[in-house]
Structure 1
């Protein structure tokens, strides 16, 4: 039976690497997969990029308001066999309605979906897509990474020009080339220390 999986973790927990490995595993067995990500994620343009240096082009980008089932039907039609799985990177950027499309894709079309993303933004607030995935996924799996102190990282702290910030838009994509916006995965203790006790 097909299921909707949400595999989440703080930044640098290996989500994109795990997604690319899952795609490789399916294809090694002769099965067809589709890779996608929300178009708002401009990092890597039309590719899924792992921090380990591995990357692969997506089959399609998901625009704001797009019907994900329709995109899967259109892009999956090029395969002779059925689509074995849909893999989505940066799933936190999906709308709640698009997450509902994923559940329908699983239940009504029988296509497993593996969605990878982060739970919360730099202010510790859930992304709408992640919140909906937590509500409707068949399976939740946390991918873990560590804080600078060695404890388990829970939160993604935003830095602008190397300084922590706790105000701003929910979405700001990493800009490593210009050292403007970067993120650091922190445990709860170090996040509270950096924020002066602030959680939102």
Structure 2
């Protein structure tokens, strides 16, 4: 029986590298993979999954109206991979579960747990609720040696704690931090 996996981590934890490595491993064995990414993630261009170390691959763009289950039924891949799954809505996450349950195709979704204010994204909350297996991809805090669990948004190198939930960016906009360093920086900014 196929499963729905959610592999989550902070910014800079290597999620996209892991997605690209997994695609490579399947394809190297002559197996078919469908790679999806939400249309909102346009850092490297819409429909491109890219890592900070320079690896990239074209992906199917998830936007309103895209029926991933229908596409999976037609294409019959060995596996489905999703990058930036936190940006999906609850209905799209249900489609992923149906792909695993009804079509017996494993689905591995990669994404952030929470936003820069510590709030769950809709897609992440849905995946935490229904995924068969949840795995953390770990990295280290920018400021200390503890495990990073939070994403800190920065503007010109200064931490900020307000704004829209979604702001697409990389190292120029976000750093991985532990909860203590996040709280300390929030207090320094007079936000806590």
Give the TM-score normalised by structure 2.
0.92
Counterpart-to-counterpart distance in 2, 1:166 and 1:9: 20
Q: Deviations over 1:151-196 (max 9, x none)?
A: 10000010122221111110000167xx5xx101000110001111
Q: Deviations over 1:55-90 (max 9, x none)?
A: 1111x100135332134345x2xxxxx310010000
> How far off its partner does 1:110 sit?
1.0
> Is contact 2:2–2:101 with CA below 8 Å preserved after alignment?
yes
Q: Does 1:163 align with 2:163?
A: no
Residue of structure 1 aligned with 2:119, choices 109, 125, 128: 125
Counterpart-to-counterpart distance in 2, 1:101 and 1:160: 36
Counterpart-to-counterpart distance in 2, 1:106 and 1:124: 29
For residues 113-192 of structure 1, what are the structure 2 equivalents within 5 Å?
113-148=107-142, 149-174=144-169, 182-192=173-183
Counterpart-to-counterpart distance in 2, 1:193 and 1:65: 43
> Is contact 1:123–1:199 with CA below 8 Å preserved after alignment?
no
Counterpart-to-counterpart distance in 2, 1:71 and 1:161: 42
Counterpart-to-counterpart distance in 2, 1:112 and 1:88: 11
Match of 2:101 in 1: 107
Match of 1:18 in 2: 18
Counterpart-to-counterpart distance in 1, 2:35 and 2:167: 23
Match of 2:62 in 1: 62
Counterpart-to-counterpart distance in 2, 1:190 and 1:65: 41
Instruction: Give the paired residue count.
Output: 189
- Unpaired segments ≥5 residues, structure 1: 77-81
> How far off its partner does 1:27 sit?
1.1
Counterpart-to-counterpart distance in 1, 2:73 and 2:54: 30
Q: Does 1:47 align with 2:48?
A: yes
Corresponding residue SS for 2:78 = strand
> How far off its partner does 1:3 sit?
0.6
- Cα distance, 1:27–1:90 mapped onto 2, change above 3 Å: same
> Is contact 1:66–1:98 with CA below 8 Å preserved after alignment?
no
